[in-house]
């Protein structure tokens, strides 16, 4: 039995410049399919998103796409998902993806991917969900972001224990293994009031 029913994958609506990004999206899709874990994603037929979704579908796996109506109208929706949930706004879309998934993985991506990743991280930080979060650091793509988080920690804007909020790995199998073994832990947010 898989320990997750569904994992949500955030990733680029473009494929990026390096073949390794596309390969990682496909590998993650195969990994989910092999473990009988359903995919929840943005429902699009473009970029790394479709590459990951198609690998899950190929083996008869379940893929739920959650897409705003405006993008369906632009014919970007994937035509053959297990389920396509059409919502009205981008906000509803993220909430629905979050509700339906037991955990979240970010593959390489752009602003949309980061927005989604940071929303689940922020919500985990203040204890609004206890679902595991993974960052698949393909070819060092997220090194700069991880470096920035360490900088923000040193500068006192990110909690000391921020590394406990998510897993990072360069390997999809290892990442899903570690996320499966996750026991939710609260972190000390370390809020202080300035002295008046």
Binding site for ligand AMP (CB under 6 A): 10-14, 42-44, 46, 49, 67, 71, 76, 109-113, 116
Minimal distance in Å, beta carbon 195 to ligand AMP?
41
Minimal distance in Å, beta carbon 45 to ligand AMP?
8
Nearer to ligand AMP, 13 or 27 (CB): 13
Minimal distance in Å, beta carbon 67 to ligand AMP?
5
Nearer to ligand AMP, 113 or 137 (CB): 113
Nearer to ligand AMP, 118 or 186 (CB): 118
How far, in Å, are 73, 75, 141, 155, 182 from residue 55 at the CA level? 25, 21, 22, 42, 25
**Contact predicate 40/7, CB 8 Å:** yes
CA dihedral 18, 21, 27, 30 (to 10 degrees): -120
Minimal distance in Å, beta carbon 125 to ligand AMP?
20
Nearer to ligand AMP, 98 or 158 (CB): 98
Please provide residue 99's backbone torsions phi and psi, each rounded to the nearest 5 degrees. Answer: -65, -40
Residue showing the smallest CB distance to ligand AMP in the complex: 112
Minimal distance in Å, beta carbon 46 to ligand AMP?
6
**Contact predicate 49/42, CB 8 Å:** yes
Minimal distance in Å, beta carbon 90 to ligand AMP?
8
- Centre a 10 Å sphere on the Cβ of residue 181 and count the other Cβ atoms it contains: 10
Identify the residue whose tokens are 């224990």. Answer: 161
Nearer to ligand AMP, 39 or 49 (CB): 49
**Contact predicate 4/180, CB 8 Å:** yes
Nearer to ligand AMP, 49 or 121 (CB): 49
DSSP string, 97-162: HHHH-S-EEEPS--HHHHHHHHHHHHHHHTTS----EEEE-GGGTTHHHHHHHHHHHHTTSS-TTG
């Amino acid at each position: 039995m898989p320990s997750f029913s569904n994992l949500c994958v955030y990733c680029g609506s473009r494929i990026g410049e390096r073949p390794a990004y596309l390969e990682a999206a496909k590998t993650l899709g195969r990994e989910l399919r092999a473990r009988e874990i359903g995919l929840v994603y943005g429902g699009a037929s473009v970029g790394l998103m479709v590459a990951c979704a198609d690998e899950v579908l190929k083996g008869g796996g379940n893929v739920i796409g959650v897409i705003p109506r405006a993008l369906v109208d632009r014919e970007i929706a994937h035509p053959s998902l297990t389920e396509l949930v059409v919502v009205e706004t981008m906000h509803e879309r993220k909430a629905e993806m979050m509700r339906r998934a037991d955990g979240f993985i970010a593959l390489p991506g752009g602003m949309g991917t980061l927005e989604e990743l940071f929303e689940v991280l922020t919500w985990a930080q203040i204890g609004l969900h206890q679902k595991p979060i993974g960052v698949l650091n393909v070819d060092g793509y997220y090194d700069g972001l991880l470096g920035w988080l360490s900088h923000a920690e040193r500068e006192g804007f990110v909690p000391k224990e921020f590394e406990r909020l998510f897993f990072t790995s360069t390997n999809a199998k290892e990442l899903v293994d570690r996320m499966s073994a996750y026991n939710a832990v609260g972190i000390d947010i370390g809020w202080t009031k300035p002295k008046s």
